[in-house]
A and B are shown apart, each in its own frame.
Chain A
Amino acid sequence: DAGVTQSPTHLIKTRGQQVTLRCSPKSGHDTVSWYQQALGQGPQFIFQYYEEEERQRGNFPDRFSGHQFPNYSSELNVNALLLGDSALYLCASSLLGESEDTQYFGPGTRLTVL
Protein backbone atom coordinates (compact mmCIF):
# COMPACT_ATOMS: atom_id res chain seq x y z
CA ASP A 1 0.00 0.00 0.00
CA ALA A 2 1.77 3.09 -1.27
CA GLY A 3 1.88 6.03 1.09
CA VAL A 4 1.89 9.70 0.17
CA THR A 5 4.63 10.58 -2.29
CA GLN A 6 5.99 13.98 -3.20
CA SER A 7 8.35 15.28 -5.86
CA PRO A 8 10.88 16.65 -6.12
CA THR A 9 12.70 16.05 -2.84
CA HIS A 10 14.72 19.24 -3.03
CA LEU A 11 14.46 22.35 -5.16
CA ILE A 12 16.52 25.50 -5.45
CA LYS A 13 15.04 28.59 -7.10
CA THR A 14 15.83 32.30 -7.26
CA ARG A 15 13.61 35.18 -6.25
CA GLY A 16 10.85 35.96 -8.74
CA GLN A 17 10.77 32.51 -10.25
CA GLN A 18 7.84 30.12 -10.20
CA VAL A 19 7.78 26.59 -8.82
CA THR A 20 5.48 23.55 -9.03
CA LEU A 21 5.45 20.82 -6.41
CA ARG A 22 3.68 17.51 -6.87
CA CYS A 23 1.89 15.07 -4.59
CA SER A 24 0.29 11.66 -4.98
CA PRO A 25 -2.08 10.70 -2.17
CA LYS A 26 -2.20 7.46 -0.25
CA SER A 27 -4.13 4.76 -2.08
CA GLY A 28 -7.87 5.15 -1.46
CA HIS A 29 -7.68 8.76 -0.33
CA ASP A 30 -9.54 11.53 -2.15
CA THR A 31 -8.52 14.70 -0.32
CA VAL A 32 -5.17 16.48 -0.44
CA SER A 33 -3.95 19.23 1.89
CA TRP A 34 -0.78 21.29 1.62
CA TYR A 35 1.24 22.73 4.50
CA GLN A 36 4.27 24.99 4.72
CA GLN A 37 6.81 24.29 7.45
CA ALA A 38 9.36 27.04 7.98
CA LEU A 39 12.57 26.18 9.81
CA GLY A 40 11.91 25.66 13.52
CA GLN A 41 8.15 26.05 13.18
CA GLY A 42 5.12 23.82 13.04
CA PRO A 43 3.42 23.29 9.69
CA GLN A 44 0.97 25.96 8.52
CA PHE A 45 -2.09 25.06 6.45
CA ILE A 46 -2.05 26.42 2.88
CA PHE A 47 -5.12 24.85 1.31
CA GLN A 48 -7.09 21.64 0.80
CA TYR A 49 -8.47 20.08 -2.38
CA TYR A 50 -11.37 17.71 -2.85
CA GLU A 51 -13.08 16.72 -6.10
CA GLU A 52 -10.69 19.03 -7.97
CA GLU A 53 -11.93 22.08 -6.05
CA GLU A 54 -10.25 24.15 -3.36
CA ARG A 55 -12.25 23.32 -0.25
CA GLN A 56 -10.46 25.43 2.36
CA ARG A 57 -7.67 27.98 2.33
CA GLY A 58 -5.32 29.26 4.99
CA ASN A 59 -3.77 32.73 5.27
CA PHE A 60 -1.53 32.56 2.24
CA PRO A 61 -1.38 35.07 -0.62
CA ASP A 62 -2.75 34.39 -4.09
CA ARG A 63 0.78 33.63 -5.26
CA PHE A 64 0.07 30.19 -3.81
CA SER A 65 -2.28 28.19 -5.99
CA GLY A 66 -3.08 24.57 -6.47
CA HIS A 67 -4.76 21.98 -8.54
CA GLN A 68 -6.17 18.50 -8.07
CA PHE A 69 -6.43 16.03 -10.92
CA PRO A 70 -9.07 13.36 -11.55
CA ASN A 71 -6.73 10.72 -10.13
CA TYR A 72 -6.62 12.75 -6.86
CA SER A 73 -2.99 13.79 -7.26
CA SER A 74 -2.25 17.44 -6.66
CA GLU A 75 0.10 20.28 -7.49
CA LEU A 76 1.12 23.32 -5.51
CA ASN A 77 2.26 26.32 -7.52
CA VAL A 78 4.05 29.33 -6.10
CA ASN A 79 4.61 32.40 -8.28
CA ALA A 80 6.98 35.33 -7.81
CA LEU A 81 9.05 33.50 -5.20
CA LEU A 82 10.29 35.41 -2.17
CA LEU A 83 13.15 34.52 0.15
CA GLY A 84 10.54 33.87 2.84
CA ASP A 85 9.01 31.07 0.77
CA SER A 86 11.99 28.89 1.64
CA ALA A 87 10.50 26.02 3.66
CA LEU A 88 9.57 22.37 3.72
CA TYR A 89 6.32 21.87 1.84
CA LEU A 90 4.27 18.95 3.07
CA CYS A 91 1.42 17.22 1.35
CA ALA A 92 -1.13 15.23 3.34
CA SER A 93 -3.92 13.00 2.15
CA SER A 94 -7.13 11.85 3.79
CA LEU A 95 -10.53 10.39 3.01
CA LEU A 96 -13.44 12.81 3.17
CA GLY A 97 -15.97 11.81 5.77
CA GLU A 98 -15.78 10.69 9.36
CA SER A 99 -11.99 10.37 9.47
CA GLU A 100 -11.11 13.19 7.13
CA ASP A 101 -9.07 14.94 9.81
CA THR A 102 -6.76 11.90 10.02
CA GLN A 103 -4.13 13.02 7.56
CA TYR A 104 -1.13 11.09 6.33
CA PHE A 105 1.88 13.10 5.33
CA GLY A 106 4.45 12.70 2.62
CA PRO A 107 8.19 13.25 3.13
CA GLY A 108 7.99 16.82 1.88
CA THR A 109 9.74 18.98 -0.69
CA ARG A 110 12.52 21.23 0.61
CA LEU A 111 12.37 24.54 -1.32
CA THR A 112 15.25 26.96 -1.08
CA VAL A 113 14.85 30.43 -2.58
CA LEU A 114 18.08 32.35 -3.20
Chain B
Amino acid sequence: AQSVTQLDSHVSVSEGTPVLLRCNYSSSYSPSLFWYVQHPNKGLQLLLKYTSAATLVKGINGFEAEFKKSETSFHLTKPSAHMSDAAEYFCVVSDRGYGGSTLGRLYFGRGTQLTVWP
Protein backbone atom coordinates (compact mmCIF):
# COMPACT_ATOMS: atom_id res chain seq x y z
CA ALA B 1 0.00 0.00 0.00
CA GLN B 2 1.08 3.55 -0.65
CA SER B 3 1.25 6.27 2.01
CA VAL B 4 2.94 9.56 2.75
CA THR B 5 4.02 11.14 6.04
CA GLN B 6 4.81 14.82 6.21
CA LEU B 7 6.95 15.24 9.28
CA ASP B 8 6.08 18.87 10.06
CA SER B 9 2.60 20.35 10.12
CA HIS B 10 4.00 23.90 10.28
CA VAL B 11 7.33 25.41 9.18
CA SER B 12 8.27 29.05 9.69
CA VAL B 13 11.24 30.74 8.02
CA SER B 14 12.46 34.27 7.45
CA GLU B 15 12.48 35.69 3.94
CA GLY B 16 15.79 34.90 2.24
CA THR B 17 16.57 31.84 4.37
CA PRO B 18 16.45 28.21 3.17
CA VAL B 19 13.29 26.14 3.20
CA LEU B 20 13.12 22.43 4.07
CA LEU B 21 9.84 20.53 4.04
CA ARG B 22 10.18 16.87 5.00
CA CYS B 23 8.35 13.89 3.54
CA ASN B 24 8.67 10.13 4.00
CA TYR B 25 6.81 7.69 1.81
CA SER B 26 5.81 4.06 1.75
CA SER B 27 5.24 2.25 -1.52
CA SER B 28 5.10 -1.36 -2.62
CA TYR B 29 6.69 -0.53 -5.94
CA SER B 30 9.02 2.08 -7.36
CA PRO B 31 6.90 5.15 -6.78
CA SER B 32 6.07 8.35 -8.57
CA LEU B 33 6.32 11.17 -6.06
CA PHE B 34 5.08 14.73 -6.27
CA TRP B 35 4.97 17.98 -4.40
CA TYR B 36 1.93 20.21 -4.81
CA VAL B 37 1.36 23.70 -3.42
CA GLN B 38 -1.97 25.20 -2.41
CA HIS B 39 -2.35 28.91 -1.85
CA PRO B 40 -5.30 30.13 0.25
CA ASN B 41 -8.65 29.54 -1.45
CA LYS B 42 -6.92 28.15 -4.51
CA GLY B 43 -6.58 24.74 -6.12
CA LEU B 44 -3.46 22.61 -6.14
CA GLN B 45 -0.50 23.49 -8.32
CA LEU B 46 2.10 20.89 -9.30
CA LEU B 47 5.58 21.92 -8.13
CA LEU B 48 7.57 18.91 -9.29
CA LYS B 49 7.45 15.18 -10.02
CA TYR B 50 9.89 12.32 -9.50
CA THR B 51 9.68 9.33 -11.84
CA SER B 52 13.08 7.61 -11.42
CA ALA B 53 14.87 9.49 -14.20
CA ALA B 54 17.01 11.48 -11.73
CA THR B 55 17.08 11.54 -7.95
CA LEU B 56 17.30 15.34 -7.78
CA VAL B 57 14.23 16.91 -9.30
CA LYS B 58 13.94 20.58 -10.12
CA GLY B 59 10.55 22.22 -10.03
CA ILE B 60 9.00 25.60 -10.53
CA ASN B 61 9.73 28.73 -8.50
CA GLY B 62 13.21 27.54 -7.45
CA PHE B 63 12.04 24.45 -5.55
CA GLU B 64 13.73 21.09 -5.81
CA ALA B 65 13.39 17.71 -4.14
CA GLU B 66 15.74 14.79 -3.64
CA PHE B 67 14.58 11.18 -3.79
CA LYS B 68 16.46 8.97 -1.31
CA LYS B 69 15.38 5.37 -1.63
CA SER B 70 17.47 4.16 1.33
CA GLU B 71 15.71 6.68 3.60
CA THR B 72 12.32 6.50 1.80
CA SER B 73 12.36 10.27 1.79
CA PHE B 74 11.46 12.98 -0.70
CA HIS B 75 12.22 16.30 1.01
CA LEU B 76 11.43 19.62 -0.66
CA THR B 77 13.96 22.45 -0.50
CA LYS B 78 14.47 25.99 -1.69
CA PRO B 79 17.66 28.00 -1.13
CA SER B 80 15.98 31.30 -0.38
CA ALA B 81 12.38 31.76 0.75
CA HIS B 82 10.18 34.48 -0.69
CA MET B 83 7.07 35.95 0.85
CA SER B 84 5.03 34.52 -2.03
CA ASP B 85 6.08 30.98 -1.00
CA ALA B 86 3.77 31.11 2.02
CA ALA B 87 1.22 28.36 1.37
CA GLU B 88 0.26 24.76 2.17
CA TYR B 89 2.52 22.11 0.65
CA PHE B 90 1.50 18.51 0.01
CA CYS B 91 3.74 15.53 -0.59
CA VAL B 92 2.00 12.97 -2.79
CA VAL B 93 2.62 9.40 -3.92
CA SER B 94 0.81 7.75 -6.81
CA ASP B 95 -0.96 4.43 -6.61
CA ARG B 96 0.61 1.36 -8.18
CA GLY B 97 -1.02 -1.88 -9.18
CA TYR B 98 0.31 -5.39 -9.63
CA GLY B 99 3.71 -5.27 -11.24
CA GLY B 100 4.04 -1.56 -10.59
CA SER B 101 1.58 -0.42 -13.23
CA THR B 102 0.24 3.09 -12.80
CA LEU B 103 -3.32 3.28 -11.53
CA GLY B 104 -3.57 7.04 -11.31
CA ARG B 105 -4.92 7.46 -7.79
CA LEU B 106 -2.93 9.90 -5.65
CA TYR B 107 -2.27 9.60 -1.92
CA PHE B 108 -1.71 12.93 -0.16
CA GLY B 109 0.08 13.74 3.05
CA ARG B 110 -1.65 15.91 5.65
CA GLY B 111 0.20 19.00 4.43
CA THR B 112 2.84 21.40 5.76
CA GLN B 113 1.89 25.02 6.26
CA LEU B 114 4.82 27.25 5.34
CA THR B 115 4.96 30.70 6.90
CA VAL B 116 7.51 33.23 5.63
CA TRP B 117 8.36 36.17 7.91
CA PRO B 118 9.62 39.44 6.44
Which of A31, A41, A103 sits near B110, CB closer than 8 Å? A41
Could you list which residues of chain B lie within 8 angstroms of chain A, going by C-beta atoms? 32, 34, 36, 42-46, 49, 90, 94-95, 102-111
How far does the alpha carbon of A100 sit from the alpha carbon of B101 in the complex, in Å?
Answer: 11
Which of B46, B95, B108 sits near A102, CB closer than 8 Å? B46
How far does the alpha carbon of A42 sit from the alpha carbon of B94 in the complex, in Å?
Answer: 14
Q: Which residues of B contact A105 (CB under 8 A)?
A: 36, 43-45
Q: Which residues of B contact A73 (CB under 8 A)?
A: none
State the Cβ distance, A60 to closest chain B Cβ, in Å: 12
Q: Is the CB–CB distance between A107 and B105 below 8 Å? A: no
Is A55 engaged at the interface, CB distance under 8 Å to the other chain? yes
Q: Is the CB–CB distance between B90 and A55 below 8 Å? A: no
Which of B44, B46, B102, B108 sits near A44, CB closer than 8 Å? B108
Is A48 engaged at the interface, CB distance under 8 Å to the other chain? yes
Question: Which residues of chain A from 48 to 103 have a CB within 8 Å of any chain B CB?
Answer: 48, 55-56, 58, 90, 92, 94, 96, 98, 100-103
How far does the alpha carbon of A96 sit from the alpha carbon of B102 in the complex, in Å?
Answer: 9
Is A24 engaged at the interface, CB distance under 8 Å to the other chain? no
State the Cβ distance, A3 to closest chain B Cβ, in Å: 9
**A41 and chain B: residue at smallest CB distance:** B110
Q: Is the CB–CB distance between B43 and A103 below 8 Å? A: no
Interface centre among A43, A48, A107 (most CB of B within 10 A): A43
State the Cβ distance, A88 to closest chain B Cβ, in Å: 9
State the Cβ distance, B21 to closest chain A Cβ, in Å: 14
Q: Which residues of B contact A106 (CB under 8 A)?
A: 43
Q: Is the CB–CB distance between A101 and B43 below 8 Å? A: no
State the Cβ distance, A82 to closest chain B Cβ, in Å: 22
Q: Is the CB–CB distance between B94 and A101 below 8 Å? A: yes
Q: Which residues of B contact A41 (CB under 8 A)?
A: 110-111
Q: Is the CB–CB distance between A100 and B46 below 8 Å? A: no
How far does the alpha carbon of A22 sit from the alpha carbon of B20 in the complex, in Å?
Answer: 36
How far does the alpha carbon of A100 sit from the alpha carbon of B42 in the complex, in Å?
Answer: 23
Which of B49, B104, B107 sits near A100, CB closer than 8 Å? B104
Which of A33, A42, A104 sits near B105, CB closer than 8 Å? A33
